[in-house]
Amino acid sequence: MMKTKLLKINRNFILATILIFFLSLSWVQTVNAEPQQDKSYLSLEALSDSIADIAEKVGPAVVNIDTIRMVKTDFPFFDDPIFRRFFGREFEEFRRTIPQKGTGSGFIINQEGYILTNEHLIHKAEEIRVTLSDEREFVGKVVWPDEESDWAIVKIEADHLPTVNLGDSSKLRVGEIVIAIGNPYRIQQTVTMGVISALDTIPINIEGHVYRNFIQTDTAINPGNSGGPLINVKGEVVGINTAIFRSFQGIAQGIGFAIPINVAKKDIDEVINSGKVRKSWLGVYIQEVTPEIAEQFKLPKAKGVLVSQVIKDSPAEKVGIKRGDIIIEVDNQEVNSPDELQNKIRSIEIGKMANIKIIRNGEEISLMVKISEMLSEGLEEKEEVSKEKVFSVQTGIKVEEVTPNIAKELGLPWVKGLVITEVTPGSSADDMGLQRGDVILEVNRTEVSSIDEWEEIISKLEPGDTLLLLKFRNRHTYYVPIKVEKID
């Protein structure tokens, strides 16, 4: 009886102990959860405070830039060489010049009034007005425009101005938080936040300008933000906000692009001190070696960089580099893209010798080139009926011989080659960007200046063959490979 009673007491005691244990555990978890929630809240609050601090610190150095440029308006076919050939300049009286306004942003990089912005914002501007964050207005003067990289420095007559700190864009990582400050739609000092979406993007063509090695971000960048700073969480400028990707409907897609600050950073002091930038120069126009081009040049694989034009009196010409050469190494380092070659040449001090290895007609040749300073390039400054013939293959283009009259209309420095008069939509030629008015100087590395020479080469082609054209446009030559197709 005593044992039974004791057993009941022990059982009740055990049950009570277990209950107290679980209640205690639950209370401990509740107590521990509160600090965790507080910790999360404090972390978010700290991030929010950091963004606000950066906006307060950098904002005063961000400016609004308004520009006016004069542009000619006319009908789109006025500049068509074929139209002008038949109608002459009778329609010139319909052209008129009107002012075009532009707006964007910039940021102060020097207390004496030097401002960094986009070149496309101030390009050919006849009037530049800069408005500071304190509403003071100044007339801006372009000190240095870099059209190729799309950055520029504008100077205003002011001093003791707030400035930004420039960071190191080479240290950026995908996923890193960044902030944009600018004046979209003339709304002053707008702050947006996002992350780095991608780095070193492939070449992108935006409104006719090819950009390379962009910073891609989902930070909201709207019209008027161009030229403003992209900032890291340390408050340092790591990029120049430049462009956005829009759908066909014109709607922003959360894809913005910025120029890495290092592109301009290395030249800023030189511009401020001397008013110009000295760039190392080889003196060639270059392009990528595609598999189709590699096939035409009988390379085992696509590698190196193809020389499409050599500038007269350049370092390249002086040592014998020729059009059609393929540059594969600079100072024993491989180069396999135009960007790699350009960056390598620009890293070599002006006046230094560089070992350039090329492939010419299947043979590797090493040349010692003295790198010089980039100068302004200067280029030297007949009626026939078009013939056509139907073949079993489709090139996607129609051509006619360049006569003295056509050369004059196109502004050519010589009378030679074949001018493209028509490009078939959807053809390989269309896909590769050939246009009416382009001049073909070579076909499969053979010079052509007559329809008979063109026909002789085309007649030997089979469907699927590659046709390598040397195209002349805007004073430069480029190799363009196109696939010939069978005509049904």
**Does residue 150 have an active-site annotation?**
yes
Question: Does the active-site annotation cover 431?
Answer: no
Tens digits of per-residue pLDDT, 186-244? 667 789 899 999 987 766 666 666 677 789 998 888 777 889 999 999 999 999 998 87
Question: Is 393-486 the same fold as 170-274?
Answer: no
Query: Which whole-number Å values give the CA distances from 119 to 72, 219, 292, in the listed order?
Result: 20, 21, 35
CATH topology of domain 170-274: Thrombin, subunit H (2.40.10)
Provide the pLDDT for residue 163: 95
0.75 exceeded by the pTM? no
Residue entry with tokens 């992209």 = 230
Residue 120 falls in the annotated catalytic set: yes
Per-residue pLDDT tens over the stretch 142-155: 999 988 889 999 99
Report the C-alpha gap between 443 and 451 in whole angstroms. Answer: 12
Residue from 146, 150, 267, 325 carrying the catalytic annotation: 150
Q: Is the pLDDT of residue 335 over 80?
A: yes
CATH architecture under which domain 393-486 falls: Roll (2.30)
- What pLDDT does 1 receive? 46
Neighbours of 240 (CB within 10 A): 30
User: Is pLDDT at 48 greater than 60 in this prediction?
Assistant: yes
Q: How far apart are the first and last CA of the chain?
A: 109
Give the tens place of pLDDT for each residue, 411-452.
888 888 899 988 888 788 888 888 888 999 998 888 888 888
- Domain spans of the chain? 170-274, 280-373, 393-486
Annotated catalytic residue within 66, 120, 169, 314: 120
Closest-CA residue to 222 (of 193, 243, 195, 200): 243
Catalytic-labelled residue, pool 105, 226, 308, 428: 226
For domain 280-373, give its CATH number from 2.40.50.140, 2.30.42.10, 1.10.3720.10, 2.40.160.20. 2.30.42.10
What per-residue confidence (pLDDT) applies to 391? 38
Phi and psi dihedrals of 437, rounded to 5? 105, -15
